[in-house]
Amino acid sequence: MTREYETTHPWLRFSVDLNNISPEFWMLLGEVRSKCEHIRGVPLRTETAQRLHNVFLAKGVLATTAIEGNTLSLEQVQDHLEGKLRLPPSKAYLQTEIDNILKLTNTIFAELKNTPEGRLLSPDVIKLYNRQVLERLPLDEDVIAGEIRKHNVGVGRYRGSPAEDCDYLLKRLCDWINSDAFNKPEYGIALDVIKAVLAHLYLAWIHPFGDGNGRTARIVEFHILAAAGVPTPACHLLSNHYNETRTEYYRQLDQASRSGGDIRAFLRYTVQGFVDQLKEQLDYIRVEQWDVTWRNFVHENFRPHATQTAKRQRDLVLDLSRTKSSEWVRRVDIAELTPRLAAAYANKTAKTLVRDINALQQMGLVKTRSGKVRAYRELILAFLPESVSTEESGEDNEGTSAA
């Protein structure tokens, strides 16, 4: 029996030839695997881990709705996650879109963590996801959330697959992504990333629902990445990549179908973006790790000294460390930098502050310049393994004392 989609969408072959993908692509996938394992294996302070989760959750949840036109800013989404956002009734649906994605991603992760048999995707699961992303949202009268569309649709120049074939195609897709073609443990998460991207791409091609297809495709992508063991902050990164490169995202989707189903460019675009996003996330983690190491180093330097002077000097360098790494603080502003320093220097003369700064400079913990001071946090980089590099960190001292 010949189906209509075989004429209109012949590129829906449910197969992929990975032999013709460039070595550079496999190198990128290797980077994805390595960086995900790094993120998953790094212990963080409780507040740091929570902040990392919240920051990238906000970005990912916003991204998957912003692509579809949600106009909330990242700051507004972060406020909403903290229960601070108040919108007028005319914009309440924007919050609802965010809530739907947030609730669904949290539910998916919890179910995958507690119910291993729930890891397989099925047409019913994908229909459920569509119903949940559209929950409590205004819809066109011919759209029923979670049900296969009964009419043909188009997105720009692209036409979705014939409505009469959508149920069949959705089942074919689930059979394919659950098949042994993607069950090769020796590949680790590398093959799961390919599977996630292809599931996303095929759902965009099939376009089985009357609304919410893009959000559903990205939720399915999240599901596959989470099931593969990608750490939760990283599971949202592809949605963020698509949002930040929205024009290219739509161009790549369009080109993938117009090329007759050649998915190599779309895979390369997606995985390169994943690597770039993972690098940004690792930079965030690295800064937090350096901060922990630096603070431990400061405490170790003062551990033998239990005097009030030593405690005040330790607090001074730690509070200076709260500013940006390269930020200089005027000496006259130091006493107002934090409540702790304000209390410590409230009954002290200016000479006491100068002596404290000079003592810290002699210990190598601060740098001074023209009546300004900053924590010398880059000192901690000396403890990194040696390597040949043309890059230098830090700034030279200007002046030999704080006086």
Residue 402 has pLDDT above 70, yes or no: no
Lowest mean pLDDT among 118-122, 283-287, 291-295, 368-372: 118-122
Tokens of 71: 């106009």
Among the listed residues 187, 173, 202, the one whose alpha carbon sits nearest the alpha carbon of residue 263: 202
- Taken in order of first residue, the domains within the chain and their CATH numbers are 5-285 (1.10.3290.10), 304-403 (1.10.10.10)
Q: What tens digit of pLDDT does each residue of 82-115 get?
A: 999 999 999 999 999 999 999 999 999 999 988 7
Determine the Cα–Cα distance for residues 53 and 65; give it in Å rounded to an integer: 18
Residue 308 has pLDDT above 70, yes or no: yes
Q: What tens digit of pLDDT does each residue of 150-176 get?
A: 999 887 778 999 999 999 999 999 999
pLDDT at 17: 85
Bridge-based pairing of strands 372-375 and 366-369 is antiparallel
pLDDT at 288: 87
Which stretches of 78-200 are assigned E, i.e. beta strand?
154-155, 158-159
| Residue with the larger pLDDT of the pair 44 and 209 | 209
- DSSP letter assigned to residue 148: B
Per-residue pLDDT band at 117 (split at 50, 70, 90): low
Beta bridge partners of 398: 369
Instruction: Please count the other Cβ atoms lying within 10 Å of the Cβ belonging to residue 245.
Output: 15
Instruction: Please count the other Cβ atoms lying within 10 Å of the Cβ belonging to residue 390.
Output: 4
| Residue with the larger pLDDT of the pair 129 and 187 | 129
Determine the Cα–Cα distance for residues 8 and 121; give it in Å rounded to an integer: 26
Tokens of 272: 């390169």
**Chain-wide mean pLDDT for the chain?**
90
- The region that residue 24 occupies, defined by phi over 0 for left and psi between -120 and 50 for alpha, beta otherwise, is alpha
pLDDT at 390: 47
Determine the Cα–Cα distance for residues 21 and 18; give it in Å rounded to an integer: 5
